Each structure stands twice: as C-alpha cells, then as structure tokens.
Amino acid sequence: MNFKVSEEVSALGINVIFLSVTSIDNSFFTQALKNEIDDYYKIFSEKYTLNDFDNNHNIVGYKKLHNKVGVTDKLLTASPESIIKILLKHKSLRSINPIVDTYNYISIKNKISIGAHDLANIIGNVELRLTKGDEHFIPLGKDQSQTINSGEYCYLDENEVICRLDCRQCEKTKTSNKTKSCLFILQGNEAISTNLLHSTAQQLLDVITSNDSKSTQYSITQA
C-alpha cells in the first residue's frame, strides 16, 4: 500500500504520518492499561475546562486549517477538540475497543488528530487530496452517503473517502474486535512539528505493544 499527499494539501501546512500495525489482537485489553487511561481521564477532567483550550496552539491550528479551506460547519470539529469536549462533559469516554480507546487516549494527551482504519477494508492506495465535491462518503455509524463540499482535504482509498478532514471517519473502515491490521493516520497542522507527530506515533505504538506484545509488525510513513 502506498500513501500520497497532494501538493495543494501540503501547501496548507498539513503534515501526516501513516502508521500501519499488523498482528493485532483487538479483543484484548489489559486491566493495567484500562486503569492507566481511566486515571488519566479522571485527573484531566478535574484539572481542565473547555476554556483552557481556547488558546491551545494545536487546536487553534486545526481551526485555522478549516478556515483556509472554507469549512464553516461547526459540527465539523477536529477530532482532538471533539473528544476533549466529550470527556469534559461526561468525565469519561465510552469504551469502544482497544484500538479506538488507545488512540483517543494518545490524541487527548498530545492534542493531535488520530484516526484508525481496518486495513482489510481499505481498497488500494490512500491519498490525501482536496475534494471535487462528487466523492462517496458514508460517515461512521451511518448507512447513507453524505455530501462533501469541494475543496475540503480528505483521505481516500481507490473507491471512496475514508476520512473527512480531520473530523470524521467512514463506516467501511471502522475497527472492531475482529480487526487484525490497522492503519493509524496522525495529522498535524502548521502549529504541530514533525517531531511531535513522530513522538506521538511512537507513544501510540508503545501503548499498543504494551497491551498486546504480539503487535510487533509495523511501518511508519511520513507523507
């Protein structure tokens, strides 16, 4: 599988790391990792309010990125801000599966957009480019295609959009307890250095392998 980022997208200040991990047992979650995440969320919820992130460089960077491509829909919020809002509102996050719970945890810690896609359901190569407005996209949890505006930056396989902006993933490539191989997409902006993206990818990989020692086959691609 190859990964490509168009020149138009790169010019927006977007930097991306693709992390492919295979031989995952996504049905297993150690109690130690569950406790680590729960303890972090408890401290986070007690320490912060939403106002504390109004001037966070990473989150502001995503907002500026949306402005550059004319995204005005307030429901299209970059994933780090979205999950932080949910965490602060409910004081916890609903457990979904080890892959999702892990990347949400690392995303909140570093304020970086992270998504995960079941490699078995990705067709061909993955490209990050600006949309034409005629792309096919079924959001996670939905069964009907959603209209995408032209000029948005989206991730596509050979057939359809697998992630809209840094906000919404698709239904087709969602992970489940049966997922064995996963593509993680870590996306930055002008405020996020390549070094931080790489260190975040390594943190993510460290947590995955600590939970499942068999998940040792991986590749990291910067695009």
Please check the confidence at residue 219 and state whether its pLDDT lies above 90.
no
Mean pLDDT computed over 46-69: 96
In this model, does residue 13 exceed pLDDT 90?
A: yes
Q: How confident is the model at residue 218 (pLDDT cuts 50, 70, 90)?
A: confident
At position 55, the amino acid (one-letter code) is N
Using alpha carbons, select from 105, 103, 110, 94 the residue that is nearest to residue 185.
103
CA atoms within 13 A on the CB side of 91: 3
Q: What is the pLDDT of residue 142?
A: 94
Q: Given its phi and psi angles, is residue 124 left (phi above 0), alpha (psi -120 to 50 degrees) or beta?
A: left
pLDDT at residue 98 greater than cutoff 70: yes
Confidence label for 195 from pLDDT (cuts 50, 70 and 90)? very high
pTM: 0.95
- Neighbouring CB atoms inside 10 A of 9's CB total 21
Q: What is the pLDDT of residues 74-87, one digit of tens each?
A: 899 999 999 999 99
* Model confidence at 222: pLDDT above 90: no
Q: What distance in Å separates the CA atoms of residue 161 and residue 105, rounded to the nearest whole number?
A: 25
Task: Please give the average per-residue pLDDT across 58-70, as a whole number.
Answer: 97
pLDDT at 213: 65
pLDDT band at 209 (very low <50, low <70, confident <90, very high): confident
Band of pLDDT at residue 205, cut at 50, 70 and 90 = very high
HSE of 85, CA atoms in CB hemisphere, 13 A:
9
User: Using 50, 70 and 90 to split pLDDT, how confident is the model at 69?
Assistant: very high
Torsion angle of C-alpha atoms 88, 115, 72, 82, degrees rounded to 10: 0
Cα of 28 vs its chain's centroid, Å: 21
**Mean pLDDT of all residues in the chain?**
95
Instruction: Please work out, in degrees rounded to the nearest 5, the angle formed at the alpha carbon of residue 83 by the alpha carbons of 165 and 36.
Output: 130
Among 10-24, 64-78, 209-223, the minimum mean pLDDT is found in 209-223
For residue 38, give every residue at least 6 positions away whose Cβ sits within 8 Å of its Cβ, in sequence order, or none.
92
Give me the residue label for tokens 């939905």: 142
* Range 101-124 average pLDDT: 98
214 pLDDT more than 90 = no
